Every structure is written in structure tokens, then in C-alpha cells.
């Protein structure tokens, strides 16, 4: 199995294990101590969760979560230079959670975005 296919399968497994409903996804993220910024593709709760679990993998440079899918910026050995992006479709419960999270329906895990000038924002969630 290719490394990218393996990474995609690993990502899908992590997302599927979050739950079968948006509320279960919330409960899983909350139990893991994850918070996030609504409508921010790199700092939303799902992106932070995956970054925490996969960020030590040298093939993963960044995780960007959209409305229906996510992109993993990848790198390859031996120097682990950027090699492209890997598209992973979000399971339906995670898509529904992302929409509800962006609508601020899970305030227990919302982290307010820092005030302007204190940190660079990753930007608004793009439609994918």
C-alpha cells in the first residue's frame, strides 16, 4: 500500500471513530480536551484534533478542514519537502458536526479567535 493511501486510510479511521452522530463527534472531541475556532479551516476543533494525533508524522505538514472534506499538506522522505495535498472526504457525522460547530452550536469547545494583531489567523473556511 502506498504511503499516501495509508495516510488517507489512517485519517478516515480517525474521523470515523469520532462518532456516528454530530453530538457523538462533539462528545469525543470534548472528552479529548479539544477546542477550536469556528469557521477557521486550520484551527477548528476537527483540524486541531487531527493535528494533535497526526502532527508528529513527518508526512503531515498541515491539516485544513473544509465543509465536506479536508486537505492534508504532505511531505516525503528523505528531506520531507512539500509534495502536495491529500484530499479526504469527511464522514457524514463529521460534516454535520463541522456545520453545527461553525454555527456555534457547541459552545463548550469554542475558543474565541485572538484579537487582531495578537496572532495570524489561518483564514476563513473555504467551501470544498
Joined together, the cell numbers standing for residue 110 give 469554542
pLDDT in tens, the chain (128 residues): 588 899 999 999 999 999 999 999 999 999 999 999 999 999 999 999 999 999 899 999 999 999 999 999 999 878 888 888 999 999 999 999 999 999 999 999 999 876 555 444 445 555 44
What DSSP string describes the chain? --HHHHHHHHHHHHHHTT-SSHHHHHHHHHHTT--B-TTBTTTSHHHHHHHHHHTTSTTEEEEEE-SSEEEEEEEETTTTEEEEEEEEEPPHHHHHHHHHHHTT--GGGB-PPPPTTTS----BPPP-
Q: Considering the entire predicted model, what is its pTM? A: 0.85
Amino acid at each position: 500500500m502506498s504511503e499516501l493511501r495509508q495516510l488517507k486510510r489512517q485519517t478516515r479511521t480517525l474521523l470515523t471513530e469520532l462518532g456516528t452522530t454530530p453530538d457523538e463527534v462533539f462528545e469525543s472531541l470534548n472528552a479529548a480536551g479539544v477546542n477550536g475556532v469556528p469557521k477557521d479551516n486550520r484551527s477548528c476543533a476537527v483540524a486541531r484534533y487531527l493535528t494533535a494525533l497526526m502532527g508528529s508524522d513527518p508526512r503531515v505538514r498541515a491539516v485544513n478542514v473544509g465543509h465536506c472534506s479536508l486537505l492534508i499538506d504532505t511531505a516525503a522522505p528523505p528531506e520531507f519537502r512539500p509534495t502536495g495535498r491529500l484530499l479526504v472526504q469527511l464522514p457524514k457525522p463529521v460534516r454535520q458536526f463541522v456545520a453545527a460547530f461553525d454555527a456555534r452550536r457547541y459552545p463548550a469547545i469554542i475558543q474565541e479567535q485572538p484579537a487582531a494583531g495578537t496572532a495570524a489567523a489561518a483564514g476563513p473556511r473555504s467551501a470544498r
